[in-house]
Structure 1
Amino acid sequence: MKYLITGLGNIGPEYWGTRHNIGFRVVNKLAEDAGAYFTEERYGAIARIRIKNCELIVLKPNTFMNLSGNAVRYWLQKENIPVENLLIIVDDIALPFGTLRLKPKGSDAGHNGLKNIAQILNTQEYCRLRFGIGNDFPRGKQIDYVLGKFPPEELEIMPKKLEQASEIIKSFCLAGIQNTMNQFNNK
């Protein structure tokens, strides 16, 4: 089985460490755990990982968040991966920091990366792992918040949350979406 695991984020050093780039952090952890390295390829950085009988194509799009769909479509087609085997890792302001929610489908909830993926793939029926970043910002300051850095108290528990996210991704590939949701979504 082959999977496309895509962490959403923005390229460039000015975005590293921001809340909006949590998808990049998660897939970096996944690749690091597997001893894999990212190489720059078309539409993004790619790492290839094997977990038992599963081949994971891990993607960090270089298209900027709002155009992530182009990279996702390209790699799904290039690797001949069905959309059911696509997992998008994304930041979510509707969830408290560190809350992880695996979903088989859903709306974009105002997230421009998810919105673009849905437009390009012409469906909302793709799996996503939502990583809660909280919403502790004053009215009208959402952009500053998501493009801001994590505070020290959140950075302190970040390694544990990244480890959990990595485990959820592995389980998604090995045990399927339903079993993984049952196991992890209530924690």
Structure 2
Amino acid sequence: MAAWLVVGLGNPGPTYATHRHNVGFMVVDELARRARASFTAPRLMRAEVCETRLTASGIGGIGADAERVVLLKSRTYMNESGIAVSKASAFFKIDPAHTIVVHDELDIDLTQLRLKLGGGDNGHNGLKSIRAHLGTGDFYRVRFGIGRPPGRQEPADFVLTSFPASARDDVAVEVGRAADAVEVLIASGLAEAQNRFNS
């Protein structure tokens, strides 16, 4: 049974940990927490990875129906995310058809998710890098809405700021929903996941 690669996009290090651009990291961290599994940093991988399995009872389960899942957080900056993704894809022998990328999305309001297969990068440097290194954009995306910046703030500055305190509870709920969406996408397919989580 082919393994799945779940990539959370973000920038490494504590400076960026709470930024809007790092919601992908937050979601894969939540999946690792559910699986009671830890990230390691294999030499030359340029990423932190966490290996686990997904069964009908959820992530971290064991059983004959278990699907192998590799969670990944790049140790490069966002615009070089594709380096880590291509290295992990080659090492774990996972092709783009079994790759899910979780990322922030300016064109979707906060508290909304959209799942899709393929598409453009919409100016997202992490997606652009992954497409370049994999040679295709035909991977699954879990698009986590962060909304547009207020006033005249530049989007590039907006994504590198933290969510306001007033939104933190909503963000925590949405991180959980995005993690649920990844589990359903792997277990039941895109159509079922879109029916349940697209808003």
Give yes or no for TM over 0.5.
yes
| Counterpart residue number, 1:144 | 157
C-alpha distance in structure 1 between counterparts of 2:4 and 2:137, whole Å: 17
Tell me how far 1:140 sits from its aligned partner.
5.1
Tell me how far 1:138 sits from its aligned partner.
2.9
Asked if the contact 2:23/2:175 (under 8 Å) is kept, the reply is no
* 2:52 is aligned with 1:49: yes
* 2:122 is aligned with 1:109: yes
Q: Secondary structure at the match of 1:72?
A: helix
Amino acid at match of 2:186: C
Per-residue CA distance 1:89-117 (angstroms, 9 max, x = gap): 00011000121111111110000000111
Amino acid at match of 2:117: P
Q: Secondary structure at the match of 1:81?
A: coil
Runs of 4+ in 1 over 6 A off after TM superposition: none
Amino acid at match of 1:122: G
* 2:185 is aligned with 1:172: yes
Q: Secondary structure at the match of 1:39?
A: coil
- Report the count of equivalent residues: 186
Asked if the contact 2:83/2:133 (under 8 Å) is kept, the reply is yes
Q: Secondary structure at the match of 1:46?
A: strand
> Any stretches of 5+ residues in structure 2 without a counterpart?
56-65
Tell me how far 1:154 sits from its aligned partner.
1.3
| Counterpart residue number, 1:15 | 16
| Counterpart residue number, 2:79 | 66
| Counterpart residue number, 1:87 | 100
TM-score of the superposed pair, with normalisation by structure 1: 0.95
Q: Secondary structure at the match of 2:137?
A: coil
C-alpha distance in structure 1 between counterparts of 2:149 and 2:76, whole Å: 28
Q: Secondary structure at the match of 1:40?
A: coil
Amino acid at match of 1:47: C
> Any stretches of 5+ residues in structure 1 without a counterpart?
none
